[in-house]
Structure 1
Amino acid sequence: MRTPVTAALAAALSFTLPALAANDADLAQIRAQLKEMKQTYEQRIAALESRLAAAEKTAAVAEKTAIQAEKSVAKVEAGSLQTAAAAAPASASAFNPAISAVLQGVYADLSQDPDKYAIYGFVPSGDIAPAKRGFSIVESELGFSASVDDKVYGNLIFSLAPDNSVEVEEAYGVLTAIPGGLTPKFGRFLSSIGYLNDQHQHVWDFYDAPLPYQAFLGGQFKSDGVQLKWIAPTDTFIEVGAEVGDGANFPGGERNRNGIGDVAAYVHTGGDIGRSHSWRAGLSYLGLRPKDREYVQTDSNGNDAQLGFSGTSYLGIADFVWKYAPNGNAQETNFKLQGEYFWRKESGDLTYDRDGTLGLTNTSNYASRQSGWYLDGVYQFMPAWRAGARYDRLDPGNLSYGANFAYLDSLSGFNPQRYALMFDYTPSEFSRFRMQVQQSKLLPDVTDNQVFLQYILTLGAHGGHKY
């Protein structure tokens, strides 16, 4: 007979044995899975080791083949390299200048003869007349530029005139390794006085130069000499520059003497206003000492008299430019307002009938104070399309001819002026097509109505345009 204790033990054993049996089955299953995984990974590792050994063997063969090939090529090239070294310098491919060409042409419809172009009260100043009537090419350019080495940059630009003559427009070097924001330039270059002067004609917003540039600088002033610019390390753009040169170009004159012929100095400053506006302003000075500066002027009797001026010429320029582009995106639409004011003082000796053709040769004192200005605005109303307007005006001021007053006309208070409208299409940075309509009133009682149809084509690399 079972006692209560015996019964309790029997009941406990009846619950424990099935649990132990279940745990043993689980352990056996886990061991079987581990064994299977181990066999699988061992097989995969063996396969990978076999592939690695085969790859290493192939790589060794390829490396040996490459070494043999290199040795063979070296033997073949050894003689040709010696021949090439004797035939050409080692740096033959190091100097590879950028080459560019700018092609221009125009159709001009003029109501007055361009051969009689003159500006009342102002000394004739070189090739400032508009193009001949009808079809013609305009001054084109051929340029070469490159970094000569790690310290010098060189630029050479030839001007190809419509009469088939060739002139060196610019030929200068720039030292690029000078620290402290200094940029020295030497050679022949367009002066950086004013705003428009150092920009080449093909990037102007209008076909021709404003009247003050024609009257005071003969279109543009360039010099053979040295230029030094310094840009201040400030958030606001500040540029200070000075130049000295030979003074051979108008309003100077050819000279064969030692020393400095022209001195120029300028300061430019500018910056951004928000994201949409930017500006630049500047003051410039140009001083020269012309010697026998020759020109022809119609005298009070209607004769073409040759005159010669020797003395001093001082010119001051104030310029301002404001640009607007919505949110800084000038690709879609933009607007530019640009203007400059010129003031010049000259004094010295003026020789009337310098060549003696009229038999009235006479030298007397001469003095003048003259001014002029222009203002233009250009609006790009959609990509590639622009329209603009410009107004130019000159003030002959006060002229003193001394004893030559009897031969030369006194001024009657007439102010030369001009109105221009421009419309152009620029399909890319390499081409532009322009129509310009303007009315010139440069002589008393004479109005010249002018229409210009112009094309500008740029071939090859060309430097970025200035602000």
Structure 2
Amino acid sequence: MFTPRYTPLALAVSFALAAGAAQAAPDADVAREMKQMREQLQQMQRAYEQRIAALEGRLAQAETKAVKAEKTAVDASATAGEAKASAESAQASRSREPVRANAFNPEISLILTGTYNNLKKDPNSYQITGFTPTLGEVGPGSRSFSLGETELVLSANVDPNWRGVAIAALKPEGGVDMENAYIESLGLGRGFNFKAGRFFSSLGYLNEQHAHAWDFVDAPLAYKAFLGNQFGQDGVQLRWLAPTETFLEIGAEAGRGQSFPSTDRNKNGTTTGVLFAHLGGDVGPSNAWRAGLSYLGTSPKDRTYQDTDSLGAAVDDTFSGKSRLWILDGVWKWAPNGNPSVTNFTLQGEYFRRTESGTLASNSAAGACGGDCSGSYESKQSGWYLQGVYQFMPRWRAGLRHDRLDYGTVDIGLAKNGILSGSDFPVMASHNPTRNSVMFDYSPSEFSRFRVQLARDQSGLGETDNQVFLQYIQSLGTHGAHKF
């Protein structure tokens, strides 16, 4: 039951009015005024009572809602527990079922590249004089517009222990070249990593990177002359990462050696071995470096290249023996406080030294060869490149590269013994090829890049090829980060 409440003010007024009435009888005006005051007092009492009743009603409603909310929370908690138990049961059930074909969900990306080339010299006659032709894609490419290789990449974790990667190069002229296809361990432990299949070797610094990640349109001359542009093979790799603050990595590879400087021997076992070691670290918050030493040893058999003898006839020269290549590489990267988004600079270089010894045979009809002769062959040659790339503002970069090859010493037994002459081996004439390149590129995003490159190429004896390249690189889909 509701009990009326009175304020102290109202009670005081009531008592005052009662006291006044007891003293004297009011006249008509006083009586009228007192009546009005009583009416006002009653109105005030009713207003206060209504407000108090409204507040009590709101309080009761709030208490009711709080009870309902608490009950709902309890019910929701129970429902969540049941849902979790149901999900765990379903997951356990799925783990016991065989994997369906549509459950496989690899990362897929597509790399699109294209160029416009303006070349002073005919690219069909391109050669690196003084160095054994590699039969690789070492030329500057075709004149005018050219579609580059379209690279299709699929990769995924097979299970908690293995990862698979497949990279197919779609040729512009048609056909598919399986560039990389390998499995790689994820959990050997103790810093070990194992890879098997077809892959680019960890030899040197640039070799392991795909062409779309290069800072220039083409590979340095040393890579073209000594590795046929890039060395890859079918085989296995084992690498170990030391548990030290300074980055230290040591690895070894063994494979079939089907690409230059080796040949496919059609034999059991391995024909090519690679050893490499990488060391690196940070210098303050803005600088990082890495240095490496690599070794490639192989024994090519019947490695053949074409030449033109002194009679003007096309001949085949064939080498069999041992080939040993050492590479010393280094890279220094600078970015203010480790943030390369605005400005950064990379200085990169590699030194190559190769020795080969064995026999060189020719089918030339010149001299005393008579179409079938052979003699000893020994060579010691080297080469290097140095490049710097500077990002001077977000998305914009400029780069400069100098390439040089040193002819060294080349002893051809057939020419030395007078069976043939030096003019019967024009490709192997003494020459120190050089090239200078400058590039500018713009990257609207991490998925696209546009580049212009100017080069003065003096790879051929007595020839200078002024080259202009325009290139685009576009990446569709997810693509793994590139290595340091």
Structure 2 CA distance for partners of 1:45 and 1:226, relative to 1, 3 Å? same
* 1:100 lines up with 2:109 in the alignment: yes
Cα offset for 1:256?
Answer: 0.9
Q: How does 1:39-118 map to 2 (within 5 A)?
A: 50-51=64-65, 89-92=98-101, 94-118=103-127
Contact 1:436 1:452 in 2 (8 A): yes
**Which amino acid in 1 is paired with 2:132?**
V
- The residue number in structure 1 matching 2:453 is 436
State the match for 1:145 in structure 2. 155
Residue 218 (structure 2) pairs with residue 208 (structure 1) = yes
My pick for the range that moved more, 291-300 or 447-456, is 291-300
Show the counterpart of 1:27: none
Equivalent position of 1:185 in the other structure:
195
Structure 2 residue 344 is matched with structure 1 residue 334: yes
Q: Which amino acid aligns with 2:111?
A: V
Confirm or deny that 1:306 pairs with 2:316: yes
1:131 touches 1:138 (CA, 8 Å); kept in 2?
no
1:315 matched to 2:325? The reply is yes
Partner secondary structure for residue 209 of structure 1: coil
Counterpart for residue 238 of structure 2: 228
Inter-partner Cα distance in structure 2 for 1:116 and 1:228: 40
> % of aligned pairs identical?
52
Deviation of 1:227 after TM superposition, in Å, equals 0.3
Deviation by residue 1:43-96 (Cα, 9 ceiling, x = unmatched)? 8886566446666888999999x9xxx9xxxxxxxxxxx9x99xx954445421
Letter in 2 for 1:115: N
Q: Cα RMSD (Å) of the superposition?
A: 3.1
* Alignment-derived partner of residue 413 in structure 2: 402
Alignment partner of 1:131 is 2:141: yes
Q: How does 1:360-439 map to 2 (within 5 A)?
A: 360-405=371-416, 406-407=420-421, 408-409=424-425, 413-439=430-456
Q: Using the TM superposition, name which of 151-160 and 40-49 deviates more.
A: 40-49
Instruction: Determine the C-alpha separation between the residues in 2 that align with 1:94 and 1:186.
Output: 25
Q: Secondary structure at the match of 1:233?
A: coil
The SS at the match of 2:164 is strand
How much does 1:403 deviate? 2.1
Q: Return the alpha-carbon distance in structure 2 between the equivalents of residues 56 and 219 of structure 1.
A: 72
Which sits farther off after the overlay, 137-146 or 399-408? 399-408
**Residue 304 (structure 1) shift:** 2.4
| Separation of aligned partners in 1, 2:265 and 2:253 | 18
Query: 1:90–1:359: structure 2 CA closer, same or farther, 3 Å change rule?
Result: same
Distance 1:300 1:443, change over 3 A: farther
Seen in structure 2, the aligned counterparts of structure 1 residues 442 and 54 have a Cα distance that, compared at 3 Å, is closer
Task: Report the residue type matching 1:449 in the other structure.
Answer: N
| Structure 2 SS opposite 1:148 | strand
Aligned to 1:253: 263
Q: Report the more deviating stretch, 51-60 or 249-258.
A: 51-60
Q: Secondary structure at the match of 2:148?
A: strand
Alpha-carbon distance change, 61 to 273 in structure 1, aligned in 2, over 3 angstroms: closer
Report the equivalent of 1:10.
Answer: none
Correspondence for 1:167 among 169, 177, 181: 177
Please give the alpha-carbon distance, in whole angstroms, between the structure 1 residues aligned to 2:253 and 2:75. Answer: 68
Q: Distance in 2 between matches of 1:233 and 1:62?
A: 49
| CA–CA distance in structure 2, aligned partners of residues 110 and 415 of structure 1 | 21
Say if 1:362 and 1:404, in contact at 8 Å, map to a contact too: no
Q: Hey, what's the Cα distance between the residues in 2 that align with 1:340 and 1:143?
A: 28
**8 A contact 1:247–1:289 mirrored in 2:** no
CA contact (8 A) 1:232 1:239 kept: yes
Deviations 1:171-192 (A, max 9, x none): 0000111010101000000000
Q: Compute the displacement of 1:308 (Å).
A: 1.2
Pair 1:463-2:480 in alignment: yes
Would the aligned equivalents of 1:99 and 1:142 in 2 still touch at CA under 8 Å?
yes
* Cα distance in 1, alignment partners of residues 365 and 227 from structure 2: 25
CA distance in 1, matches of 2:101, 2:176: 28
Q: Which moved more, 1:379-388 or 1:402-411?
A: 402-411
Counterpart in the other structure of 1:157:
167
C-alpha deviation, 1:42, in angstroms? 9.9
For the residue of structure 1 that corresponds to 2:226, the secondary structure is: helix
Following superposition, the deviation at residue 300 of structure 1 comes to 3.7
* Cα separation, 2, equivalents of 1:247 and 1:353: 26
AA of the residue aligned to 2:156:
A
**Alpha-carbon distance change, 46 to 387 in structure 1, aligned in 2, over 3 angstroms:** closer
Residues 308 and 58 of structure 1, relative CA distance in 2, 3 Å threshold: closer
Moved more, 296-305 or 442-451: 296-305
Alpha carbons 1:306, 1:355 under 8 Å: kept: no
List aligned pairs for 1:342-353, cutoff 5 A: 342-353=352-363
Can you list the C-alpha shifts for 1:88-136, whole angstroms capped at 9, x where unaligned?
A: 9544454210011110000000011111111111111112111100001
Name the CA shift for 1:48/1:190 in 2 (closer, same or farther; >3 Å). Answer: same
Q: Give deviations 1:264-320, integer Å, cap 9, x for gaps.
A: 001000111011111110100000010111111233444321111111100000001
Length, aligned pairs only: 412
SS in 2 for 1:439: strand
| Distance (whole Å) between structure 2 residues aligned to residue 352 and residue 253 of structure 1 | 18
